[in-house]
Amino acid sequence: MIQAIVFLPLLAALVAGLGQRAIGPFASKLVTTGALFTSCALSWPIFLSFVFGTGQAEVMTVLHWVSSGALQFNWELRVDTLTAVMLVVITTVSALVHLYSWGYMEEDPDQPRFFAYLSLFTFAMLMLVTANNLVQMFFGWEGVGLASYLLIGFWYKKPSANAAAIKAFVVNRVGDLGFMLGIFGTFLVFGTVSIPEILAAAPGMAGSTISFLGLRLDTMTILCLLLFIGAMGKSAQLGLHTWLPDAMEGPTPVSALIHAATMVTAGVFMVCRLSPMFETSDVAQGVVMFVGAATCFFAATVATTQWDIKRVIAYSTCSQLGYMFFAAGAGAYGAAMFHLFTHAFFKALLFLGAGSVIHAMHHEQDMRYYGALRKRIPITYWAMMLGTLAITGVGIAGVAGFAGFYSKDGILEAAYASGGGGVIAFWVGVFVAFLTSFYSWRLVFLTFHGKPRWEQSEHIQHAVHDDHGHGHDGHAHADHGHDAPSDGTAGYHPHESPITMLIPLAILSIGAVFAGIAFHHPFIYPEEGLAFWNGSLAFDEHLMHAAHEVPLWVKWTPFTVMAIGLFLAWNSYIRNTTLPARFVAQFKLLHQFLYNKWYFDELYNVLFVKPAFWIGRFFWKKGDEGTIDRFGPDGAAALVAGGTRLAVRLQSGYVYGYAFVMLLGLVGLASWAMVNFL
């Protein structure tokens, strides 16, 4: 069964990618979507068997892979609780994204290529989460990096899409360098790349030292930090986060697939898979907690100022990943995975809902040109409402709540219970919960409530009057109607999305509502969680006991700040719409700092990009052209050309010329003979 789950997406990608001319767009979509729904249908029974306590961890050998001295490993597919969770997350979201793309990409001429890339991405992610050794994990790790590059730059005729794809690829290579060094160091220390063998031996290496950069340092701290650098790149943590917002240049289904449940969660999965290693180093855990909390705070502050609907949700993803990491840093790996699980549903719902809005608004992504869409696209509105209720963590402690209420509150309670730095992370998380509520409801109010502002968008008006309207993505989109609405918005009538886009929204809405209440017991409750995870990650039963026994004010604080954020957003964008402009005018520098994303891109441009271009240009002009070409191929060519011209001048064709040369030769020979023999 696990072989079919993993390899069906690969087979579908090959059929759609290589056979697209033979089978056509419809068959390509049918094959890839059918394969993903089959994988999804096979994944849920595996997950539920672990939920109900009947599942058994097992390893399936695909083939013997490498045998080189001490380095020996097979290509194996590992199935345990951690893998089962990731299987349902990946296959469910990917299957729904495939179906959603039938409607969203309907008019794109390169649909087979797009669906092949989606399936290839899914296969690489499945390879990553089923890995039983670090090399296979790295294979999947690089596979999702390649597939994300192809998907982000899918519309390759857009310069911005190409730049975003390159940026994602390069930034992730920085993180991957750390991951590779971590794998090399782990093999050096443990003599194996087998994950079970490494985790079994890890506690015995606690306190040992290793020579690194000329210093004697704690072995496990160095290994864990190197591995975590890889996680920072894939999961867009502070410092290596800059690629994630720019990845919005890809089609919206790509944003949902990459940012909701797959690539960006790979780093969280890796840390949880290797959690027994991280448990041996307090320093490494502290770094993970600090980076997670800092990312959480940074991304939330930036999201409050953005106008692009997809960028707001992208920074929200970055912030929620920070929650997961500081949970892992606190030792609450089960809570981190639970938030990963619930986040997949409501974040995919929000991204696909945003895509439905963009589809309705002729591919306009600026929320300043939305408004009053609640009655025009009601199904999308209610789906986005449910996603917002889930991400903001609406719920009542001890009663019921949406998905994010259980997972986010579980993280905050575990952080508080862990003490020390965890208490600081708790307060950062509480403040971020307030910001999350504010910017999430800001998105809802700007998009669906208030007055329509469509007539202010030159893009929409141009598209309405253009029978060959080109969408915001640079590809042709049909004109979606010229009905004159009663509100006089320049003849444009927003429309609900097709059924293939609405079905995924409905299914994901169910997950956003019920995933928390249905599964919070096995994921994070002390006794049940210990049995559920069954050694697939380091589950701290005592910490989770303490988390459930925190003071009542700790449990109610997230709900309180969520309500404050909701009220502030309503007051600013519904009741008193002049308030945001007055705030910006009052705190212009602060707003500019946040709107420009803390100037990370500008800083990196000065520190890395410009010096790299200067060095490259120097070696190009001075080294390559000025030295190598000048004295190498160009110099040799010039010498040959000069000699050729001289030879041509000597070969005149006149007899007297040749006689003169012969005479010079005879004179020279006679002179040499006289000097040497007389």
Q: Among 337-346, 526-535, 569-578, 657-666, which stretch is predicted with the lowest mean pLDDT?
A: 657-666
Q: How far is CA 136 from CA 66, 76, 438, 520, 565, in A?
A: 11, 8, 41, 31, 44
> Distance between CA 410 and CA 418 in Å, rounded?
12
For 322, residues 6+ apart whose C-beta sits below 8 A from its C-beta are 237, 238, 291, 292, 293, 294, 295, 296, 297, 298, 299, 432
Residue with the two structure tokens 């309500």? 563
Percent of the chain with pLDDT over 70: 94
Three-class SS of residue 214? coil
H-type helices in 449-599, by residue range? 458-464, 499-524, 526-533, 541-548, 552-570, 579-586, 588-595
Q: Is the pLDDT of residue 588 over 90?
A: yes
pLDDT 10s digits, 504-517? 999 999 999 999 99
Three-class SS of residue 74? strand
Q: Is the pLDDT of residue 252 over 90?
A: no
Short-list 6, 12, 144, 11, CA closest to 75: 6
pLDDT for 255: 84
pLDDT for 215: 84
Q: Is the pLDDT of residue 459 over 60?
A: yes
Beta bridge partners of 68: 71
pLDDT band at 564 (very low <50, low <70, confident <90, very high): very high
Q: What is the mean pLDDT of residues 255-263?
A: 76
> Distance between CA 22 and CA 2 in Å, rounded?
30
Q: What is the mean pLDDT of residues 124-136?
A: 94
> Distance between CA 445 and CA 443 in Å, rounded?
6
Three-class SS of residue 408? helix
> Distance between CA 437 and CA 403 in Å, rounded?
15
Provide the token pair at 426: 């708790």
Residue type, 532: F
> Distance between CA 556 and CA 553 in Å, rounded?
5
pLDDT band at 469 (very low <50, low <70, confident <90, very high): very low
Q: Are 303 and 319 in contact (CB under 8 A)?
A: yes
Q: Among 106-115, 200-209, 626-635, which stretch is predicted with the lowest mean pLDDT?
A: 626-635
Provide the token pair at 642: 């000069």
Q: What is the mean pLDDT of residues 333-348?
A: 93
Q: Are 328 and 271 in contact (CB under 8 A)?
A: yes
pLDDT for 462: 65
Beta bridge partners of 61: 76
> Distance between CA 521 and CA 507 in Å, rounded?
22
In this structure, the number of other CB atoms found within 10 A of the CB of residue 623 comes to: 11
> Distance between CA 564 and CA 547 in Å, rounded?
24
Q: Are 328 and 292 in contact (CB under 8 A)?
A: yes
pLDDT for 622: 83
If residue 216 lies in a helix (H) or strand (E), which one and from where to where? strand 215-218
Q: What is the mean pLDDT of residues 394-406?
A: 88
pLDDT band at 458 (very low <50, low <70, confident <90, very high): low
Q: Among 194-203, 234-243, 295-304, 620-629, which stretch is predicted with the lowest mean pLDDT?
A: 620-629
Burial 287-318 (b: 16+ CB within 10 A, else e): bbbbbbbbbbbbbbbbbbbbebbbbbbbbbbb
Three-class SS of residue 310? helix
CA-CA-CA-CA torsion sign (16, 19, 24, 30): negative
Overall pTM > 0.95: no
> Distance between CA 158 and CA 366 in Å, rounded?
18
Short-list 146, 354, 401, 368, CA closest to 255: 354
Residue with the two structure tokens 């199935």? 79
pLDDT 10s digits, 369-388? 898 899 899 999 999 999 99
